[in-house]
Amino acid sequence: MKYPETKPPVFTLTAGPVDAYPEVLRALGTTVLYDYDPAFQAFFEDLTLKAQEALGCDLPPLILQGEPVLALEGAAASLIARDDVVLNLASGVYGKGFGYWAARYAKKVEEIEVPYNTAIDPEQVRAFLKEHPEVKIVCVCNHDTPSGTLNDIDAIGAVVAEAGALLLVDAVSSWAGMPTSPTSSQAAIYVTGPNKCLGCPPSLSLVAVSEAAWAKIEANPDAPFASMLSFTDWKNAWKKTEPFPFTPSVAELNGLSAALDRYLEEGPEAVWKRHAVTAKVCREGIKAMGIDLWPVSEDIASPTATAVKMPDGIDAGPVLAEARARYGISMSAGRAETLGKLIRIGHMGPTAQPAYALLAVAAMGGALKALGAKVDVAAGLAAAQAAWDAAIEE
């Protein structure tokens, strides 16, 4: 008997939106305070400082009232002036997409684009910046989620700093799931959100803005204000003595607060380890079944999602549908250029647990087998469990 499509899945092992932590779901259901109540104003100040601690940034971060696409578009609008030349680094769908926003505000957008199963080479960025000293802003995606691949933003950040340009990072699906931060990447603007590795529903953005970026935004005559895209509007709103530009998303902020408490209490290093072990268990299982990973090398595979390449002649769509119908397990499709070619298993927040990796291997293997692919599911499960045991005994 197949699992009914009309019922929610038994397990959601997607690469975003992800299942939220129970603590977060409980917090979302708590009292919605009036935003100008002194208790709420004090809560918002504390929450911002807690987010600063978690991000490890020098200034209090912005908490914007929409999922991270708002912050990415807002970053482009706020930072990029009409006479700026921007270098966009594209190794996947999100990196490529940022270039379209940049083009809306910049004089010119240059681009380095590489195949979507590879990563940006920092040396290529260095050589490009040497030849193009007019570049003022460089944009990069840390984990390009539709490919499951990582760019080394710390190395890229060092190259960009050396050239005297500003770095804008999309770290939405990496931050809080692996060692990555605004300071280690020397980012001028570092955009992330609570809806991936922090285990919240999609709703808010977190943005670390450096001193240099604020100076650039304040000097940009085109930077938006009195707008949902404005960074300036929210710059001082974290202080309990300052007004809000408009009503904050009270319920989602309650959820974010619980997620940050959880993250800081478990300890960032323990959380990152949990993501890394889950990814390792999953990959050992997939490879042992006789199926390839999407990234050209495991060195650039993100610990927060595993992208699995579909065998020749098999489209991802029916495999996803089979896993959902047969086992009640939901996984992510690719997007745009990677659609149909791969399936993504998320290891984010509550699903960054090795037990879920075994479920994913079983669902992926069983669905592929049902569709006629040559897979050794038993070998995959044995290898996954062996990797899990090895991590326990480490």
Ligand X SMILES: *Cc1c(COP(=O)(O)O)cnc(C)c1O
**Which residues does residue 170 pair with via DSSP β-bridges, in sequence order?**
141, 191
What's the closest the beta carbon of residue 263 comes to ligand X, in angstroms? Answer: 18
Query: How many Å separate Cα 240 from the centre of its chain?
Result: 29
DSSP at 138: E
* Binding segment (CB under 6 A) for ligand X, from list 82-90, 168-176, 260-268, 269-277: 168-176
What's the closest the beta carbon of residue 305 comes to ligand X, in angstroms? Answer: 9
d(CA 181, CA 171): 8
> Based on CB atoms, which residue is closest to ligand X, 19 or 67?
67
* Contact call for residue 172 and ligand X (CB under 6 A): yes
What's the closest the beta carbon of residue 42 comes to ligand X, in angstroms? Answer: 30
335 is in an annotated binding site: no
d(CA 224, CA 189): 16
**Can you tell me which of 48, 78, 117, 173 binds ligand X, judged by CB under 6 A?**
173
> Based on CB atoms, which residue is closest to ligand X, 74 or 328?
74
What's the closest the beta carbon of residue 196 comes to ligand X, in angstroms? Answer: 6
Tokens of 189: 């603007």
State the angle between helix axes of 153-162 and 122-131 in degrees (0 to 180), rounded to the nearest 10. 20
> Based on CB atoms, which residue is closest to ligand X, 48 or 145?
145
* Contact call for residue 40 and ligand X (CB under 6 A): no
Site pattern 10..39 for ligand X (x: CB under 6 A): ------x-----------------------
Residues contacting ligand X: total by CB under 6 A: 11
Residues 118-147 that bind ligand X (CB under 6 A): 141, 145
176 Rama class: left (phi>0) / alpha (psi -120 to 50) / beta: left
* Contact call for residue 94 and ligand X (CB under 6 A): yes
**Helix and strand tally (H, E) in the chain?**
12, 14
Is residue 37 within a helix (H) or strand (E), and if so which, with residue range?
Answer: none
What's the closest the beta carbon of residue 351 comes to ligand X, in angstroms? Answer: 15
* Contact call for residue 381 and ligand X (CB under 6 A): no
328 Rama class: left (phi>0) / alpha (psi -120 to 50) / beta: left
- Residue recorded with tokens 């390839």: 292
> Based on CB atoms, which residue is closest to ligand X, 69 or 325?
69
Q: What is the dihedral of CA 358, 389, 300, 196, to 10 degrees?
A: 50
> Based on CB atoms, which residue is closest to ligand X, 337 or 376?
337
What's the closest the beta carbon of residue 280 comes to ligand X, in angstroms? Answer: 21
200 Rama class: left (phi>0) / alpha (psi -120 to 50) / beta: beta
Q: Hey, how many other C-beta atoms are within 10 angstroms of the C-beta on 15?
A: 28
Phi, psi of 291 (to 5 degrees): -115, 145
> Based on CB atoms, which residue is closest to ligand X, 70 or 377?
70
Tallying the residues shown for the chain, one arrives at 394
* Binding segment (CB under 6 A) for ligand X, from list 82-90, 160-168, 170-178, 293-301: 170-178
**Can you tell me which of 60, 61, 66, 68 binds ligand X, judged by CB under 6 A?**
68
What is the residue type of 11?
Answer: F
**Residue ranges at the known binding site for substrate:** 344
Residues lying near ligand X in the complex (CB under 6 A) are found at: 16, 67-69, 94, 141, 145, 170, 172-173, 196
**Residue ranges at the known binding site:** 344
